[in-house]
């Protein structure tokens, strides 16, 4: 059972998390073209995880100039720059210390995912924003984010992750992609659901993956799902996969961003 101190910390984290999401939502709303890059940034930061050495993973190391400048991260600097600006704002109102880049990158990706879901709903309503918002709220997958939201408190790496752990997605073969995902504990299903963010051209990536008998059924499944009103299969599997990806090898500090409540001087209370 939670004691009073636990409940105070949970409320502090929840309030801060809501503020972070609002800041990121506004940053992305003003730069919608950056959405795919934000997701690729989070994926590339995470897939450096190595099971054997238990190193790498979604630890914010992609922020280092020597890592963001690698070939696999070409074109992602603009997304990182946007997050740098968002971080300044977030840190200015944080009462529990600066947000880690690891959390920032993953919560920006979450905001980007939600933005793509909302955009799809609006598109299904002929571009009508009001109707699209109603559709998304009626059939949307917001309730699937519970586990992701609880995993708030990742620590930042202090050095770049080793080179050679992230494929240059648009140049990789299907087998290279499958091997990479297998090393992370993922299979064809997870590879297919993340295909939109592996390389700059979703259609080209899906066409390539559809040539593989193991991945093709999942590509086709998600293509069909995206055509439905609810898009349930696609959206739920994307959230589930991203949630697992976002914590590979990470220890979550559930006291992060909490702070001592102000003390009340009872001698000054008027009774």
Q: How many CA atoms, within 13 angstroms, populate the side-chain half-sphere of residue 255?
A: 4
Instruction: Report the run of H or E that residue 88 belongs to, with start and end.
Output: helix 77-93
Q: Are 119 and 196 contacting, i.e. CB atoms less than 8 angstroms apart?
A: no
What pLDDT, on the 0 to 100 scale, is given for residue 81? 98
| pLDDT tops 60 at residue 1 | no
- Domains present along the chain, CATH in parentheses: 4-166+233-246 (1.10.520.10)
| pLDDT tops 80 at residue 266 | no
| pLDDT tops 80 at residue 268 | no
pTM for this one? 0.93
What pLDDT, on the 0 to 100 scale, is given for residue 221? 97
What pLDDT, on the 0 to 100 scale, is given for residue 158? 97
The number of residues in the chain equals 271
Long-range residue pairs from 203-208, CB within 8 A, at least 24 positions apart, any chain: 204/170, 205/169, 205/170, 208/174
261 pLDDT band, cuts 50/70/90, is: confident
The β-bridge partners of 200 are none
DSSP one-letter code for 178: H
* DSSP secondary structure letters along 174-220: HHHHHHHHHHTT--HHHHHHTGGGSSS-HHHHHHHHTTSTTTHHHHH
270 pLDDT band, cuts 50/70/90, is: low
What number is the average pLDDT over the span 101-116? 97
C-alpha dist (Å) from residue 36 to 7, 43, 98, 270: 36, 11, 26, 57
73 pLDDT band, cuts 50/70/90, is: very high
DSSP one-letter code for 64: S
* Mean of all residue pLDDT scores within the chain: 93
34 pLDDT band, cuts 50/70/90, is: very high
Place of tokens 């009340």: 264
End-to-end CA distance of the chain: 33
What pLDDT, on the 0 to 100 scale, is given for residue 6? 84
What pLDDT, on the 0 to 100 scale, is given for residue 3? 60
Query: Residue 93 and residue 163: Cα distance in Å, rounded?
Result: 35
Query: Residue 146 and residue 140: Cα distance in Å, rounded?
Result: 14
Place of tokens 């105070």: 8
| pLDDT tops 60 at residue 246 | yes
What pLDDT, on the 0 to 100 scale, is given for residue 263? 66
Task: Give just the sign of the alpha carbon dihedral 77, 82, 142, 203.
Answer: negative
Q: Is 136 or 4 the better-scoring residue by pLDDT?
A: 136
C-alpha dist (Å) from residue 153 to 17, 42, 107, 249: 10, 16, 11, 13
What pLDDT, on the 0 to 100 scale, is given for residue 269? 60
What number is the average pLDDT over the span 265-270? 62
* DSSP secondary structure letters along 147-173: HHHH---PPPPSSPPPTTSS--GGG--
The SS3 call for residue 17 is helix
The β-bridge partners of 55 are 50
In the chain, the percentage of residues whose pLDDT exceeds 90 is 86
| pLDDT tops 70 at residue 267 | no
Q: Are 188 and 241 contacting, i.e. CB atoms less than 8 angstroms apart?
A: no
C-alpha dist (Å) from residue 29 to 19, 21, 263: 15, 12, 39
What number is the average pLDDT over the span 149-172? 96
């Amino acid at each position: 059972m939670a004691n009073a101190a636990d409940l105070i910390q949970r409320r502090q984290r929840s309030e801060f998390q809501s503020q972070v999401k609002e800041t990121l939502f506004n940053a992305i709303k003003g730069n919608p073209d950056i959405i795919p890059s934000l997701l690729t940034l989070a994926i590339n930061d995470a897939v450096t995880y190595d099971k054997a050495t238990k190193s790498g993973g979604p630890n914010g190391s992609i922020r280092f100039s020597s890592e963001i400048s690698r070939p696999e991260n070409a074109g992602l600097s603009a997304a990182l720059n946007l997050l740098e600006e968002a971080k300044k704002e977030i840190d200015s109102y944080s009462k529990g210390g600066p947000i880690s880049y690891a959390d920032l990158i993953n919560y920006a990706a979450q905001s980007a995912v939600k933005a793509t879901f909302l955009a799809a709903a609006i598109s299904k309503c002929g571009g009508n924003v009001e109707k699209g918002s109603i559709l998304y709220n009626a059939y949307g997958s917001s309730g699937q984010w519970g586990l992701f939201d609880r995993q708030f408190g990742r620590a930042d790496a202090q050095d770049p992750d080793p080179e050679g752990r992230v494929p240059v997605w648009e140049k990789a073969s299907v087998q290279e992609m499958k091997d990479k995902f297998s090393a992370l504990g993922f299979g064809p299903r997870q590879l297919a659901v993340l295909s939109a963010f592996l390389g700059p051209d979703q259609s080209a990536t899906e066409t390539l993956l559809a040539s593989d008998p193991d991945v093709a059924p999942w590509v086709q499944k998600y293509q069909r799902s995206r055509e439905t009103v609810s898009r349930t299969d696609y959206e739920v599997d994307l959230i589930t996969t991203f949630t697992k990806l976002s914590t590979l090898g990470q220890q979550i500090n559930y006291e992060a961003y909490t702070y001592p409540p102000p003390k009340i001087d009872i001698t000054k209370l008027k009774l």
